[in-house]
Structure 1
C-alpha cells in the first residue's frame, strides 16, 4: 500500500513533506523548515505525528524540529551529522535498515551540498526525498562537498526506477529551467518542460514533486554523461565529473 504524501510549502521557497499510512495511522514528516504549516496539515487531517526525518543540517530544513517534536515522536537523521542536527532518536547512514510508516526505507548517503546529506527512498510508495541533492531541474550548491561527491550522489539516485517521484526541498524550478536552456536550448523535452513550469508558476502551483524520468531528460546536472550535452559545451572528450563541474560552475555564476 502506497503512503499518502502531502507537499507543504514553508518559509519563502522551501517544501516539507507529510507521509501518512492510512492502515496503521502512522505519520512522518521529512524536514521541518518551520513547524506551523506542518502542524496545520496534521491538525486538518487528524493525523498523529510519529516520525521526523531530516535530510541535512541547514537551518531551513531543521529550524522547526523542536517545535514539532512531541512525546513519542522519533527524530531520524544522519549519524555523520548528529553533532549539528537536533537531538536524534535514530542515527542512520547509507544502507541502514529503516522502517517508517510501516514501509521499508532505503537510506542513501548523498554528500555534495553538505557532507552529511542523506536522502530517503520509499520503494513501495515509489518516492525519494532528495531535499537539496537532486532538485527539480537542478542540484544543490556544493557548499561542503566536491563535484566527484555530488556526481556520485546524483548517479546513485539516477539508478532508481524512472517513475520514482522526486520530492525535493525548494521552489527553484523556474530559475533552474532558465539556466538549463542556456546549456541545451534545442532539447525538445526541456523546451516542453519549461513551458509547463512557466504555466504552473503563473497559476501559483508548485513544480515539485517531479518524476525522475523527467529529470533525466531535462535536468542538466543529470546529463553530464550525455554525449550531445558534452558536445554543446565543447567537452566531447571530458569525463563526466569534469562536465558536471563545469555545469555547476556556470550555474553558480548564472
Structure 2
C-alpha cells in the first residue's frame, strides 16, 4: 500500500545526513531505520492513513468502539524543523530527550521518546485538547502496523495496514539486494517475528563481519530488539551477544544497547 499521499505532496527540504547526525547527537540517540527509510522516499508530508489504533480510551473515538487517534502528517526531518519544535513539548510539561515527528488534527502531537531506549525510541502522543499523554507504540515499526484508514465501513486489516515483505521476499532481498535492501529486509524480518533464532544468528554474523559504523549500529539495534521481544523462544546466549557488541568498541559505541539488554534480560 502507498504510504505518502501523492495528492497532497509536500515541497520538503532535502534529507541531509549532517542534519540527522546533529539531531541524533543532541538527543543522544538514533532514529529508527524504518523511519529514515520512509523519509528517504519523501522528507515529510501527508500520509494516506488517517488513524492509528491505540489501547486507551480517548475523546476522539466513539465509546465502545476500537479506540484510535487521528494521524495524518509526518514532519520533515531537518535541523531547522527540529529547532522550531523544541519548545512545544515543554510547554505541556513533557521534557527530556524527545522529538515531535508527526501530528493529527492539530491537537495530537506524536513524538519519539529516546529515554526509554536510545536505539529504538518508543512513540508517544500528546493530546493538547484534554492535556493527556500516552504511549502509542513501543517502536516506529510497531506504529506502522497500527496505522489505518478509518471509513464509514470497516476495512479488512490487509487493506488498512502497511504491508510487510513476506519471508520469501525478505530472503530474496538479503541474498540479491544491495546494502539498503538488506537493511530493509532485516527490519521487516524483525517486525514479522518469524524464525527469531535464525534472525539472531544472521544479525550476529553481519555485525561480526562488518567494519562500518552505520551498518553495525543498525544490525545491533535489530539484534537487541529481537533478543528482547523473543527472549522466551531463543536459545541464543545473551553473553555471546554482549561479547560481540563489545568487540566492536573501536568502531562504534554500543554501551547504551548493552545496558538495555542487561536491564531487560
TM-score (norm 1): 0.31
Which one has the bigger strand percentage? 1
Structure whose alpha-carbon radius of gyration is higher:
2
- What's the TM-score once normalised by structure 2's chain length? 0.30
